[in-house]
Amino acid sequence: MAVGNGDLGVLHPVPGITMAAVSAGIKKPGRLDCVVFSLGDAACVAGSFTRNAFCAAPVTLCKQHLAVTSPHYFVINTGNANAGTGKAGMENARRVCLEIAELKSLPVNTILPFSTGVIGVQLPVEKITDALPEALGQLQEDKWLDCAKGIMTTDTRPKGASVQVEIGGKIVTITGIAKGAGMIKPNMATMLAFVFTDAKIESKALQTMLDLVVNKSFNRITVDSDTSTNDSCMLVSSGRSDVQIDENNTQFMAALNAVFISLAHGLVRDAEGATKFVTISVEGGANQQECLQLAYTVAESPLVKTALFASDPNWGRILAATGRAGIEELDLEKVAIYLDDVCIVENGAVAASYTEAAGQKVMEQEEITIRISLGRGKCSETVWTCDLSHDYVTINAEYRT
């Protein structure tokens, strides 16, 4: 169950980047579950990682490697998060990196590991290392869809996005994939996301770009308010286009932001059990903090989310969430709440123009905007979420069985 058709469009090759997805049999024989990206020897890499204190072993090792050298390969497995696994987990993550390092005669710290799946189970290292020679032998520039499938867990469909933009008379490509459907309130990035461009970008500028676009995309989504132990988002510049870019290039930044937002929306549209894609827009706020505080309060309210699933225009739940968001000195007479363009609350009460039929019509849509105007400033923020269905409970109750 997911919202929208899930069409990824054309995923353009990025010069300098090759990839492969193979089956290591981590959970199910024959399922694509091990992915390798080759970045070339001149790539710049930026990363954003979970702030969960119990971060997974591959996250810790990835940050250590990224701090000392330029990576040449990413290796990603699904089916096992290698989180909550202690010293053995760190050693297992390192063994996976070491296998590629030895096969390609590279320092071990040029390999970055990523894992996703069940927490608290030791990584089946031998299954992964046995599959790596096959993966390295199959590297191609156009296996985006296979790789997007190879990093899925409870996802029902792959996520990818790609744009090409002309800068300085040359075509620059940006292509990325992501995964995630539950345990999603990224407090940095997302579950897993890998975005690549052939633009030539220096390391410091690349990290600045990543921080900027993550903040307006992956850091503006929530499925269930849970932050994963394994969240990792990587931005890679292969430099093959020879078009020098920095964070002040508005044309490139717009294209990059479009890719990140598309991937972030893809996670929400395919959230566990989701039947609706919901935009929470808060405007007229005094500052960014209170806008986000209110948007997340509404987006994460179980009562609001279940009403959305039922297509029930129970506007009192939105009103109650707005009132408990903790905004100081809120003037209720200035607050207005809308379902799409249907005003449901104004002047501290139900809008005089509101009808249940109008509210019902909006709530029956697959895509809904809840807009809240505070009338106390010029700040605005947007958060994207989904409804809460029976299937979400079933999926997570049965996740390990």
Instruction: Identify whether 190 is a catalytic site residue.
Output: yes
SS3 of residue 42 by DSSP: coil
Nearest to 288 by CA among 379, 221, 216, 370: 379
Q: What is the DSSP string of 179-230?
A: E-SSSB--SSS-SEEEEEE-SB--HHHHHHHHHHHHHTTGGGB-SSSPBPSS
Q: Please write down the HEC assignment for all residues of 128-146.
A: HHHHHHHHHHCCECCCHHH
Count of beta carbons in the 10 Å neighbourhood of residue 366: 12
The whole-angstrom distance between residue 231's C-alpha and the CA centroid of its chain comes to: 8
Q: Left, alpha or beta for 223 (phi > 0: left; psi -120 to 50: alpha)?
A: alpha
Q: Which residue is listed with tokens 């989310």?
A: 305
Catalytic pick among 85, 116, 173, 190: 190
Task: Count CA atoms closer than 13 A to 210's CA, side-chain side.
Answer: 28
Q: Cα separation of 206 and 211, whole Å?
A: 9
Give Cβ neighbours of residue 356 (< 8 Å, ≥ 6 apart): 313
Q: Cα separation of 82 and 98, whole Å?
A: 16
Q: Cα separation of 242 and 29, whole Å?
A: 42
SS3 of residue 352 by DSSP: coil
8 Å CB contact between 111 and 103: no
CA distances to 205, 218, 253, 273 from 257, in Å = 15, 11, 6, 27
Q: Name the residues annotated as catalytic.
A: 190
